[in-house]
Chains A and B, each alone.
Chain A
Amino acid sequence: MRFSIILFGMVQALRLVARLYPKFRDRLKERNLIAQFKLQDNSEGRWVQIENGKVRSRKGIHEKPDFSVIFKNKAIAEEFLTPPFDQLVRIDAAKNFKLLVEGSDELAVWFMTTLNEMQRVRWKGGTPVGNGVVRYTNGTNGGPVFVYVKDGKILRITPVEFDDEDAPSWTIKARGKEFTPPRHTTLAAHGLCQKSMVYSKNRILHPMKRVDFDPNGERNIQNRGKSEFVRISWDEALDIVVSEIKRSKAHGPGAVLVTHGSHHQWGNLGHYLSAFNRFWNLIGCSKLHNNPDSWEGWYWGAMHHWGNSLRLGTPEFYGTVEDCLKDAELMVFWSSDPDASYGYEGTIRREWAKELGIPMVHIDPFLNHTAAHLGGKWISPKPGTDSALAQALCYVWITEDLYDKEFIEKRTTGFGEWKAYILGETDGTPKTPEWQEAETRVPAREARALARQWGRKKTYLGAGGWGCGLGGAGRGPMGVQWARMMTILGAMQGFGRAGVNFGNLQFGAPLDFSFYFPGYAEGSMSGELAYSANAANNYQRMPHVVTMNSSRQNIPKIRLPEAIMEGRAAGYLTDVSSVRGQFLRYGYPAPGHAKIQMMYKYGSPNFGTMVDSNRWVKMYQSENLPFVVNQSIWWEGETPFADVILPACTVFERWDIGEYYNVGAGYVHHMFSMVNHRVVSLQHKCIEPLGESKSDYDIFLAVAERLGLGAMYSEGGNTELDWCKRVFDSSDLAKHTTWKKFLKKGYFVVPADPENARAPTASRWYYEGRKKDTPEPYPLPADYVGEFGEGLQTTSGKFEFLPETLSQIDDPARPPLNHYQKSYENAEADPDLADFPLQLLTPHTRYPFHIMGDDEGCTLQDIREHRVRVNGHAYLVARVNRKDAEARGVKDDDLIRLWNHRGSVVCAAQLTDRLRSGVVSACTGSAQYRPAGEPGNSTDLGGCVNMLNPKKTITEQASGMAPNTSLIQFEKWTGVDTWQRSEAA
């Protein structure tokens, strides 16, 4: 089409759409402007004036347009403007200077958004269900949901129930029975509480400023966390933030530090790996380098035995649901509580296993939720000593000939030395069941009985929360040792053999693993190619402009307080592309980079999730941190430790798109194998943002516009809904359904593979000595020592009992031979710890998602296994052994104070026999922080039990935290706080 005709048509279309749609008419009244479209040589053009909602236009060149869109030549202009629009053509034009935008960035973005709105205004989302109620869909960390809305208000939130149009469910045939999952999704508590989170009284509804913060005068940094806040306008807030960004950037690269929680609200666009990364790449910043929290032992330890670096060192899981149900004769859950934090899709499968009569053993100091539900044998070792039990199993297997010798011989290296160690030939101590009893307190006879069953029966080892890694004993000071032992046990029994593998039925459902829909770690619209999995598929599938952070400065997340307060910090890289990537050390400050001048805090608070968190409190009061802005949805414990607060809205108040438990390649590849049906949902904007809150995307856009980056950030005025459409078009969804239908219905169930085309069982290829056939693109081709697809990602290509890679470093807690070491928090060895006789477990909580959902007004607050209300305040629950409690005169629901040198926290006691004596268990589920006195140096009434955990890393040369098994004491809370932090801690 000719340039002049297209422009003329555009103006006609604006008028026509305005006539037809009142919503669009209203939009035209939002701005008055003159937009010029022209060729670079001014030979042709047309300007459009919008004034009080009226559209005027003339051919030619206006002398004073607000902005101009300038095309290099006619051919380019015509290709660019002729529908249907090709995204690749558009970004090619933008990247290669075929098109320029001059003038007001803000007005240009508004105008381009308006042009897109002509299409959007016709889109209708949601399904009317009668009585003025519309059923929308959304996604949460607890699963996809139906959202019923009436009169602009959320009425209810439910799981997604499938209809007859949705793809059929799979069936597994095992031992004469057939098992098919139910025709709906299940929700975790933190998904089902979402309505109460949206309307929580903790919502931040207006931009705010600390009363005693004056960016041009006294900043009163010492009052962060203490002073009140006053409401300010968005303009004022954004002006302060932008001027602080400019002030900081004048110090050099990396002076702006951005931080975020490990998780965000569900969805591909709003996630920190998406809009947040795009925005910050355009601004330039220091980032917190995330360590693989919850995978500590696997990443820093287990990986060296068998590779799997892109899985953070955890085992494969394909096909394990079917294999386990068909062939396993015993299931061992070791520090494995799948019912704790990722919903209940796998629960039904474990019930099938129970129905089939597969015996179950649970090894955990706490009779965890899964164990309590399934029943079976409970073995409760003293926390941190599990590896001794594991080594005693090896001892029985070796001495009684109960291991897979053929596998050992053909597929492993180093067994001879391992055997010599186990038998005590090298250190004089045979690792007998009696030897372990002294460490673990597990009767020797039970260790023997377990070893014999396990050695004789085909056994599934569910190691960690997901059965194939995550959490549990892997995140204690002895976590590296434990995760390594899990791989060793697996190897001695020949993992990959029918019925012998890693898993607890939580992962490995028989789904379609080739259907492409991106997970959030694939970067979405970030343009970030280095620090997300964007480059693998998304970047080609959804062409968008690449973005790059020019600052090379990173701070190890767990050392942030030291970086700020002491001005230095060092850590080891999380680099999953290879096994050896983790040996690389990096530090702050990076050469030639600036010291931190401001912190842009985004998302959930860290006080409840980061260890020795009193450090974090103190960091905020450091003069080394001149400015802190906090962009949050809720007012939580860390929120007032800021100078300016920007209110973000929830995912129910903006558009997004995402798939049930699909986090994407780069995080946990094919994590959706955890759910029974792949469900992709459009995350409808169900209601308008509350108060003055805005979506993260729009907040970043507003800042970007003030820095002339709006058009680049929004890629020419894309709204979140436009991006949803682009994600839709980029995925395999577009082959199965239409945008119109998807917009209305809101979800799509991806058909499972037919029975004869299911993914092969994990590691069977390795067991049988074939090339790798499981559907994951790992390891990287370069990491195979022999032919592509042959062997494991280790130096030898085999499972290594004594990993060669660990012999390349000298890390005392990670010797090549995984010999038994005691926890470094050891009261017997350290007289300073004599007053702290109890071990503290701090597992993930079951009801909030980490700390998400722990807000005042949220219905989770009423769950008495999470918090108990005493005198109006809901205190976090600490589970204590009945006898330990009675010895201290403590009854159920009494307030107790847990403390050591590092921290002091008040909880509500829950007496139980589900813990061995000497162990306390309190979940890291607090979003609150309520210091009884001086912040950072007093007892916390909010329940941040991570205050009690050490900042010491899991090993000297690993950037992993080591909570769990910290030594503490508890007593009945007197209400008077005299606790003081001891710096020696």
Chain B
Amino acid sequence: MAKKWNMVVDIARCDNCRNCFLATKDEHIGNEFPGYSAPQPESGHSWVDVKRHERGQWPVVAAHFMPVMCNHCDDAPCMKAASNGAIKKRADGIVIIDPKKSKGQKDIVDACPYGAIFWNEEEQVPQAWFFDAHLLDEGWKKTRIEQACPTDVFRSLKVEDAEMRRISEEEGLQTLKPELGLKPRVHYKNMHLITHCFVAGSVVEHVDGVEECAANAEVVLSRNGNEVARAKTDLFGDFRIDQLEKNSGPYQLAVSSESSGSAATAFDLGEDSLHLGTIALGEEA
């Protein structure tokens, strides 16, 4: 089996420094690479974009950033939409939109379910991130986004598909819109930061009439009477339970500590993560 390119993207490591976005612009604005791409327009294209995502409510908030780009699908709908063989899949897995053959084919833009293709009005061509194939073909060892990323979010891997499946399983990688079955070659790590919710709270206790953070309290989350997760509060009395399904409905939460008794509450989990506010031990909700 042939070795093919894949890109692993670790969402937890992304700092939104925007270097990947800028490096791609630096590489393509004003530069033509015959056989690979026409120049990118000066503004408006995000071949590699970084999506901002917030979870929670003040004062318990998490911000995550997710780089997105062409997924180099093995079963690429953009290829089917292109006439004249304008989009080809290379033996190494990279999908390339031919800058000559694709001229005028604006429909290709809408064929991508990931919104990864941009229409270049000046050049009249559809364009997307093509894995720096022009550089890899010249002998570069890594892509510009990997080179520019200060926190090693990206890891390009040229491996056989079976090996990639093993890696994916081992590291719990996921792809975008797997339900479409397009076999993307961009794999995400820590995708739950985008797709799932957390529930958080601050547990307090009263010691000699003074409100204190309840450290080391036991937090048990259940659904329909079944325990789902367990956590301990930190020195600020805070806890956070992550990786809960969005819109997963009613939950019960019980908190207890040896010294200050217990408390319980219930909530419905919707689209967004939830900060339950303060939960006072010794009072049953």
Contact = CB atoms under 8 A, between A and B. Distances in A.
Interface of A: 130-131, 153, 155-159, 161, 182, 184, 186-189, 192-193, 195-196, 199, 339, 343-345, 347-348, 351, 359, 367, 369, 372-373, 375, 377-380, 443-446, 448-450, 452-453, 846-847, 857, 859-865, 869, 881-882, 912-917
Contacts of B16: 369, 372, 865
B224 interface: no
Interface stretch (B58-66, B108-116, B172-180, B253-261): B58-66
A692 B72 CA distance: 45
B85 interface: no
Given A339-B15, A347-B15, A913-B56, A189 B22 contact: yes
Contacts of A359: 234-235
A147 to B, nearest CB: 11
Given A157-B26, A917-B58, 8 more contacts: A156-B27, A196-B25, A359-B234, A446-B236, A847-B18, A913-B61, A914-B61, A916-B59
Contacts of B62: 372, 375
Given A159-B148, A859-B22, A445 B59 contact: no
A862 B44 contact: yes
Contacts of A913: 54, 56-58, 61
6 contacts: A156-B27, A182-B152, A184-B147, A339-B15, A347-B150, A348-B150
Nearest to A201: B42
Contact of A863 (B18, B63, B152, B235): B18
A103 B29 CA distance: 50
A31 B110 CA distance: 62
A448 B212 contact: yes
Contacts of B204: 445
Nearest to A345: B150
Contacts of A161: 147
Interface in B211-244: 211-213, 215, 234-238
B29 A196 contact: yes
A449 B235 contact: yes
Nearest to A861: B43
Contact of B237 (A182, A344, A449, A917): A449
A859 B29 contact: yes
A153 B54 CA distance: 41
Interface in B18-62: 18-19, 21-23, 25-27, 29-31, 42-44, 46, 52, 54, 56-62
B151 interface: yes
A308 B236 CA distance: 35
B102 to A, nearest CB: 23
A80 B14 CA distance: 59
Contact of B17 (A158, A189, A378, A449): A189
B236 A186 contact: no
Contacts of B58: 380, 881-882, 913-917
B148 A857 contact: no
Nearest to A379: B59
B151 A351 contact: yes
Nearest to A448: B212
A861 B212 CA distance: 47
A174 B177 CA distance: 42
B185 interface: no
A633 B181 CA distance: 51
B144 interface: yes
Contacts of B234: 359, 377
B19 A863 contact: no
A189 B238 contact: no
Given A380-B58, A862-B25, A862-B46, A372 B19 contact: no
Top 9 A-B residue pairs of the complex, sorted by shortest distance between their CB atoms: A344-B150, A372-B63, A186-B150, A449-B213, A859-B25, A192-B22, A913-B58, A373-B15, A913-B61
B31 A156 contact: yes
A444 B238 CA distance: 15
B19 A192 contact: yes
A373 to B, nearest CB: 5
Nearest to B278: A443
Contacts of B52: 864-865
A195 B56 contact: no
B59 A380 contact: yes
Given A372-B63, A448-B213, A916-B59, A377 B43 contact: no
Contact of A339 (B17, B43, B237): B17
A498 to B, nearest CB: 22
Contacts of A369: 15-16
Contact of A377 (B15, B21, B46, B238): B238
Contacts of B235: 359, 449, 452-453
B197 to A, nearest CB: 14
Nearest to A457: B235
Contacts of A864: 52
Interface string B134-150: 00001000001001101
Of A450, A847, A912, A913, most buried by chain B (CB within 10 Å of CB) is: A913
Nearest to A184: B147
Contacts of B63: 367, 372, 914
A458 to B, nearest CB: 15
Contacts of A345: 150
Nearest to A195: B26
Contacts of A377: 234, 236, 238
Contact of A193 (B22, B213, B215): B22
A449 B236 contact: yes
A916 B59 CA distance: 7
Nearest to A912: B54
A448 B211 CA distance: 10
A184 to B, nearest CB: 8
A273 to B, nearest CB: 29
A546 to B, nearest CB: 42
A156 B29 CA distance: 10
A130 B17 CA distance: 31
B151 A344 contact: yes
A260 to B, nearest CB: 27
A159 B27 contact: no
A25 B204 CA distance: 84
Of B43, B138, B147, most buried by chain A (CB within 10 Å of CB) is: B43
Contacts of B30: 153, 195, 199
Nearest to A344: B150
A192 B59 contact: no
